[in-house]
Amino acid sequence: MGNKVTTIIAEVEKARKGIAACAVLFLALAGLCFAFSERVLLALVRLLGRKLVSYSPEEGFVALASLSLYCAFVLTLPVAGYLLWRRLVLPRVPAWRRWGGPVIAVAVGLFACGALLGYFVLLPAGIGFLVGFETRDVRALLSAKKFISFCGTMLIALGLSFQAPLLSFFLAKLGWLKPAFFQNRWRHALLACTVLSAIITPTPDVYNMTLMAIPLLGLYFVSFLVVHVVALGKAAAPTTDDGE
């Protein structure tokens, strides 16, 4: 019993050091990102084709500071993922020791795919839909702070959602996730994706929630395909060994 308590304390101590390192890195990157925040904001504003407005003297600064925090969070994710891999996964599955670099690279690539999908497809469609309700007498004035919150939340949510196939791969390798889990559950997946999109979508309109739900549902089927391929590989492995 004493050994278990000591082990738990040691794990908590290691986690505390990792969290502290990530926090320091996050703050340092936030300060660095603030220097480039205007350029990043310009890239986002291009989606609008119009200028943002500030409803208070400090909103411009708060908007740029918020944008810096979003960027710092994204840049900290690879380091946090690597520490999580070393501290949580490798002690339990030492055979995966050589996979650390490729796993982080794939995770970054998947995050980039999700963010790019959001930037080039979902954000323009979603913002265009909301702004499209303007009339001759009603002009939409977009708050800088709310616009950054909208873009940051959607892009980060999409990037993290795109980790589902990678996570499914490792769960399948461990035997915790099997193709049978996905079979005949597409209705449940549709409901779950709808609820999740309603939670992570910054606006309550059905159009943007639907835009978010579509890629989430697509990730469900991609994850099913990944798990199915892993299952086929496991089934073929004994036959290959016998042949050798």
**How does residue 240 score in pLDDT terms, banded at 50, 70 and 90?**
very low
Please answer whether residues 81 and 34 qualify as being in contact, where contact means their C-beta atoms are separated by less than 8 angstroms. no
In the three-class reduction of DSSP (H, G, I as helix; E, B as strand; rest coil), residue 181 is classed as helix
The model's pLDDT over 161-217, given as tens digits with 9 standing for 90+, comes to 999 999 999 999 998 999 988 887 888 888 999 998 888 887 777 888 888 899 999
The model's pLDDT over 9-59, given as tens digits with 9 standing for 90+, comes to 666 666 787 888 899 999 999 999 999 999 999 999 888 777 888 888 899
CA atoms of 54 and 61, how far apart (whole Å): 10
140 or 110: whose pLDDT is higher? 110
Handedness of CA 30, 36, 41, 43 (dihedral sign): negative
Question: Cα-flanking dihedrals φ and ψ of residue 53, to 5°?
Answer: -125, 155
pLDDT at residue number 224: 94
HSE on the CB side for 81, CA within 13 Å?
A: 21
CA atoms of 121 and 223, how far apart (whole Å): 22
Q: Does the structure show a pLDDT above 80 at 135?
A: no
CA atoms of 113 and 119, how far apart (whole Å): 10
Please answer whether residues 161 and 66 qualify as being in contact, where contact means their C-beta atoms are separated by less than 8 angstroms. no
Q: Which residues pair with 53 in a beta bridge?
A: 143
| CA angle in degrees (0–180, nearest 5) for 33-37-38 | 155
What pTM was computed for the model? Answer: 0.87
The model's pLDDT over 52-101, given as tens digits with 9 standing for 90+, comes to 888 888 999 999 999 999 999 999 999 999 998 988 888 888 888 888 89
Helices in the chain by DSSP H: which ranges? Answer: 2-35, 37-45, 59-84, 100-117, 123-131, 144-161, 164-173, 179-182, 186-200, 206-243
Please answer whether residues 22 and 83 qualify as being in contact, where contact means their C-beta atoms are separated by less than 8 angstroms. yes
Handedness of CA 233, 235, 239, 244 (dihedral sign): positive
72 burial type by CB count under 10 A (0-12 exposed, 13-18 middle, 19+ buried):
buried
**How does residue 4 score in pLDDT terms, banded at 50, 70 and 90?**
low
In the three-class reduction of DSSP (H, G, I as helix; E, B as strand; rest coil), residue 136 is classed as coil
Question: Cα-flanking dihedrals φ and ψ of residue 143, to 5°?
Answer: -70, 135
pLDDT at residue number 14: 67
pLDDT at residue number 244: 38
Helices 59-84, 144-161: inter-axial angle, 10-degree rounding: 10
